[in-house]
Chain A
Amino acid sequence: MTLLLAALALLLGGGMIVLATSRPHRDCSWLAAGVVVVAAIVGGIPAVQVLAGGTVSTLHWPWAVPFGQFALGLDPLSAWFLLPTLLLSALAAIDGADYRKSGPEPRSLGPVWFFYCLLVLSMVLVVLARNAVLFLFAWELMAVASYFLVTVEHERPEVRQAGWIYLAATQVGTAFLLALFLLLARQTGSMDFTVWAARGIPTGGWAAVLFVLAAIGLGTKAGFMPLHSWLPEAHPAAPSHVSALMSGVMIKTGIYGLLRFLTFTRTPPLWWGWTFIGIGMTSGVLGVLWALAQHDLKRLLAYHSIENIGIIALGMGVGMLGWSTGSAPLMVLGFGGALLHVLNHSLFKGLLFLAAGAVLQQTDEHDLDHLGGLLRRMPWTGTAFLIGAAAICGLPPLNGFISEFLIFLGALRGAALAPGAVAVSLLAVVAGLGLIGGLAVACFTKAFGVVFLGTPRSESARTAAEVGPAMIGPMLILAAACILIGLLAPWAVGTLPRVLTNLTGLPTAAIHGGLAGAVGPLLAVVAASAVLLVILGLLVLWRRRLLSRQVMATGTTWGCGYAQPTPRMQYTASSFAQPLLSWTSAVLGGRRQLTAPNGYFPAAASLHTQTPDPLHPDLYRPALDRVGAGLARQRWLQPAAVQLCILYIALALLALLIWKFG
């Protein structure tokens, strides 16, 4: 715990120093990145210790805030979320040290780095907090810090707009969270998580209310489908290393909150699991479909975060169904898969956002259809993006396959053994995960193919060059982690039992029994991966031998005999996704503006497609405007004159004095 406190102090102190410093950009950035890296290492040690079997440490300090207590705790569940948070924070900070702001040069990057440190600090506090008031404090700190990071490039109006949407969404979520905590405190007479964790929540009607409040309040942060609208706005607006951090780990604090909430409850009813499966299917399938429809790389990745949160929700749904039906293996596999996917997603999504940031920085081009051929110009970035793309599609031998494999195993087991409706819902999980995986392949072949393959579609893509080592390094580390978890899957799963004990309260034997059903197959998967790599190596050698005696020629791409292909003749991102999108247009909607070619020598023709989110923030506007108008009527209470404000303060003080001493 001392080390954790040291890390927190480092982040706070470092952030303050960076804020105060007037050094030039680079020094300031490197200082801040250094602080975050050191804090991550210092804080990572206890997290690793706890996961490896060390004792769970807690800390209770009195705090002057009413009902508040500075109570921290590091149990395996917290440690599981703490590790990726610290890892990605450090790597994104190194990447961000090379970050160059578009638009006018700011006087200092100090405030940016201050809020970055604050964001890391608040995320660490969120997963450590053991008191509801402290949790809410950290939660809000996280919202505010990330708001200022989203709006770093506030000169652009769309960034300011995205910032407001994000702030509004996160505050709505907090309102539900506040109600949840107040109800819990009323029923248990405490704000302390340890009291709630004694499964203090009564079953029945109240539990249902609490569950819904938690799902909405925490689900807004996580990006569950009907509550996701802030996500595709905020991620593209923020600097890429911040997007990586927000998408990779910050939205996972919502998942952490939900899992922590589950440690407070007794055996949940079946409909909790079904709700999560419903949320997971909607977020997963629709998330990837909208991702497919995007033309902006970072917006595409943002929708993929929704998809992956959907996969995590599916895993949690499987786990909850297992809990309700009393099936330990189902519980272990479902929750285990969800937990592992939390880690995996933070790795490959962080990687993908960093790579997208590198592309954006080198080309200054948001539109996929203006990119192309970057693999030759940015080989490291391209290769890293390729590994991330294969991992997020859940392809063997990478890490995404492993976590989805666990959820699949759980769902298949339930579909094979459970009775009636439970089996059908788990069959839906199996089919849904398959569909999500297939669509993810469609989406990431599009993203990688259009950005990195073929020929450049614009001048800026043609002249792009590789980024510096500070940006390549973190990407390669994340890519290596994706590969390693894939190849060391049984050992990665071996770290789960303590977290699962913490989460489910099952006896250790039951958890090991449940995981044993996965470790055997995973060993075989690893063996198959090794065989795959050996075969690939042999094929490489064989092909080299075969071609060594032959003529190798270079030509143009086959175009039905047309010998002068131009970049504009390539398939674009829009055309690649068109068949799938038009087939699903009943769900997706989408607008088309077509100026068809006309006459024998058509001059100008154009096609614009757009697939706006049906839950786009603008659609909330009428309702929000009405709320705003209602509130404006109370405006007379809030006068512009300073004298009246002072009068209010004086009156309030007087009232307090009378109340206190009267």
Chain B
Amino acid sequence: MKLLTLIPPAAAMLLAPLLFGVIHRTKAWFAGRQGRPLLQSYFDLWKLLHKGAVYSATTSWIFRAAPMTALAALLTASLLMPFGHVAAPLEFPADFLLFIGLLGLARFATVLAALDTGSSFEGMGASREVFFSALAEPVLLLALATLVRQAQAGGPGSLATVFQRLTTRVHWLHDGPILALVVSALLVVLLAENARIPVDDPQTHLELTMIHEVMVLDHSGPDLAFIVYGTALKLWLLAALVVGMVLPPVSAIWLNLLLATAGMGVTAVAVGVVESVMARLRLALVPQLLVGAGALAAAAFLLGLA
């Protein structure tokens, strides 16, 4: 393992909460406000880590173990995602399957913690979360299978090789439509998996309409810090997936990293723009959005066959 490979996880762990700051600032700019400091998420995490915790009398050890399990899964996932054409410490053929599995483990833990509280609100959020993610997972797999075929790496390659070959081998003018379809499918997955508008509104204050936020209503103190940090990591990792397949490599490593960081910033701004100009969808429409994204990815695969 080269020392260089530690850069992608380090970047993810250090910079992930910054994405929230960028999104907030973008939304504030649209609303004509000044917005909160870019580093506010870090201050919040620091504050939460140094607070006590309140537990519902209903809860068992599952509720206490879940935030740690979810964060451990996401931290492990951050060891799999390359960044700026620097390979991740764990790189192997079809590593994205483990990545998806780890996201699933994090979700499993969070959902169980929600059900442990015995609250109908949290049950409601948990129910929606498993529904939408069950539809988002095949979309992610379809998109990745399309990328793997396009990369022509002689079988299921690792994320790093797929990114490398995609951005250098593929002719954007010729294969552009395919990649555009995959990128749009992946962006829908990014928004759905991270509970952003148009699927879920992280800013809402009505329990009845929330998905992710309502699942974590009862967590407090360090547990909540773990969950918030995990959410940031997940946003970072999925954004890195989109950025990685779009940005072509240049010769210097530091320039690659700089470009990728800028790409993450652009993605965060894009999420902020979407949140500013769109209302969230009715819950009944979310499955259709996800199935639509799946259709885009499948269409991309079929285009690639021709």
Contact = CB atoms under 8 A, between A and B. Distances in A.
Contacts of A412: 94, 97, 145, 148, 155-156
Contacts of B155: 329, 412-413, 416-417, 517
Interface string A572-583: 000111111001
B305 A423 contact: yes
Contacts of A394: 101, 104
Interface in A197-238: none
Contacts of B50: 546, 550
Given A521-B93, A571-B115, 8 more contacts: A396-B98, A396-B105, A525-B98, A528-B80, A540-B68, A554-B54, A570-B123, A576-B115
A415 B98 contact: no
Interface residues of B, number: 87
B137 A535 contact: no
Interface of B: 49-62, 68-69, 71-73, 75-76, 79-80, 90-95, 97-98, 100-102, 104-105, 107-108, 111-112, 115-124, 126-128, 130-131, 133-138, 140-142, 145, 148-149, 152-156, 207, 217-218, 221-223, 226, 283-284, 287, 294, 298, 301-302, 305
Contact of A539 (B68, B131, B218): B68
Given A375-B60, A550-B53, A569 B138 contact: no
A48 interface: no
A439 interface: yes
A560 interface: yes
Contact of B217 (A517, A524, A558): A558
Contacts of B102: 396, 528, 532
Interface residues of A, number: 84
B116 A395 contact: no
B60 A376 contact: yes
B218 A558 contact: yes
B105 A576 contact: no
B55 to A, nearest CB: 6
Interface string A351-382: 00000000000000000000011011000000
A557 interface: yes
B76 A528 contact: yes
30 contacts: A373-B58, A390-B108, A393-B104, A395-B104, A409-B156, A423-B149, A427-B142, A433-B141, A435-B137, A438-B135, A441-B111, A442-B130, A449-B111, A449-B115, A454-B58, A454-B116, A520-B92, A521-B93, A521-B95, A531-B76, A535-B76, A550-B52, A557-B122, A559-B119, A560-B207, A565-B58, A570-B118, A570-B119, A570-B120, A579-B131
A424 B54 contact: no
B52 A552 contact: yes
Contacts of B100: 434
A433 B100 CA distance: 12
B154 A528 contact: no
B52 A556 contact: no
Nearest to B147: A416
Given A453-B112, A453-B115, A430 B134 contact: no
Given A396-B101, A416-B155, A441-B104, A579 B128 contact: yes
A531 B94 contact: no
Q: Identify the 4 closest CB pairs spanning chains A and B, nearest first.
A: A571-B123, A438-B134, A449-B115, A550-B52
A445 B101 contact: no
Interface of A: 329, 372-373, 375-376, 386, 390, 393-396, 401, 405, 408-409, 412-413, 415-417, 420, 423-424, 427, 430-435, 437-439, 441-442, 445-446, 448-450, 453-455, 517, 520-521, 523-525, 527-528, 531-533, 535-536, 539-540, 543, 546-547, 550-560, 565, 567, 569-571, 575-580, 583
Contacts of A531: 76, 79, 90
B62 A453 contact: yes
A431 B121 CA distance: 31
Given A417-B155, A550-B53, A571-B127, A430 B121 contact: no
Contact of A449 (B92, B126, B222): B126
Contacts of A579: 127-128, 131, 283
A539 B128 contact: no
Question: Which of A396, A439, A547 has the most chain B CB within a 10 Å cutoff?
Answer: A396
Contacts of A521: 92-95
B90 A527 contact: yes
A576 B127 contact: yes
Contacts of A417: 154-155
A579 B90 CA distance: 38
A577 to B, nearest CB: 7
Contacts of A532: 72-73, 76, 102
A567 B222 CA distance: 28
Given A396-B102, A408-B97, A415-B145, A454 B53 contact: no
